[in-house]
Amino acid sequence: MKDDLDKYIKLCMKNDREGQLKIYQLFSPVLYGICLKYMKNEDDAKDVFQEAFVIVFQKISQYKFEGSFEGWLKRIFINKLIETLNKKKKESFFLDVFDPDTDFIEEEELDVIPIEQEKLLEYIRDLPDQYRTVFNLYVFEKMKHKEIAELLKISEGTSKSNLNRAKHILQKRILQSKKNFKIA
C-alpha cells in the first residue's frame, strides 16, 4: 500500500492525471470531511476542497516522502481552510478576548446518548466561524492552545475562550437533542 502510494505520488509529481486521480480517490473522503467540519456551508466546503486539492497537486513535488502523506495533505487543507476563513473576517473573526469570568464555565458531563454523525456535524457547522475553527483544531487536530494561537495569530487566551464557548454551545445543543430524544 505504501509502495502504491509512493508510486501515485511520483506520478503526481510528473503531473500525471491517473496518479492524481488515484490520490484523489484515496484521500478525498477524509479531506472533504475536514472541509465540511471547518466550513459553515457545503458550497464553501466544496470551493476550499477544490482549491486545496489544486494546491496539493501543484505543490506535491515539495513532499519529501518523510512522514505521513495524509498528514501533509491535511496540513495543506487546514492552512487553506484557515486562510479562507481569515478572509471572512467580517464576522468579527477571532476578536473575542479571553474573559476568565465568563469563559471558565464548568464543563458538564453529559449522558451517553447516541447521536448521528450528521447531527454532530450540523452542530459543529452551526458554531460561529471562530469557535468552530478553534474547536476543530483543538479537538480533532489535537493542537495545543499555543499552536492554535500561533496559527490563527490570536492570543492563547482567545483560543481557550473560543474553545470554551464552542463547547458551551455544543453542550446546549446536545442537551436539547437529548430532550428531543427522550420525547421521541
Residues 159-178, interacting with another protein (CB under 8 A): 167, 170-171, 174
Q: Which residue has the cell 476542497?
A: 49
Residue 60-89 contact track with another protein, rule CB under 8 A, x = bound: ------------------------------
CA distance 68 to 88: 31
Phi, psi of 68 (to 5 degrees): -70, 135
Site membership for another protein, residue 155 (CB under 8 A): no
Q: Is 137 exposed, middle or buried (0-12, 13-18, 19+ CB in 10 A)?
A: buried
- Region of residue 94 (phi > 0: left; psi between -120 and 50: alpha; otherwise: beta): left
Binding mask 112-151 for another protein (x = CB under 8 A): x-xxxxx-xx--x--------------xx-----------
* Closest distance of CB 91 from another protein, Å: 22
**Contact of 26 with 54, CB cutoff 8 Å:** no
Residue 44 burial (10 A CB sphere; 0-12, 13-18, 19+): middle
* Residue count, binding to another protein (CB under 8 A): 43
Amino acid at the residue 120: L
Which string of x and - marks every residue 20-59 that binds another protein (by CB under 8 A)? xxx-xxx-xxx-xxx-xx--------x--xxx-xx--xx-
Instruction: Please state the closest distance from residue 45 (CB atom) to another protein, in A.
Output: 9
Rounded to 5 degrees, what angle do the CA atoms 160, 41, 105 make?
25
Q: Which is nearer to another protein, 30 or 97 (CB)?
A: 30
Window of 66-74, 81-89, 108-116, 126-134 that interacts with another protein by CB under 8 A: 108-116
Gap between the Cα atoms of 132 and 162, Å rounded: 8
Binding site for another protein (CB under 8 A): 17-18, 20-22, 24-26, 28-30, 32-34, 36-37, 46, 49-51, 53-54, 57-58, 107, 109-112, 114-118, 120-121, 124, 139-140, 167, 170-171, 174
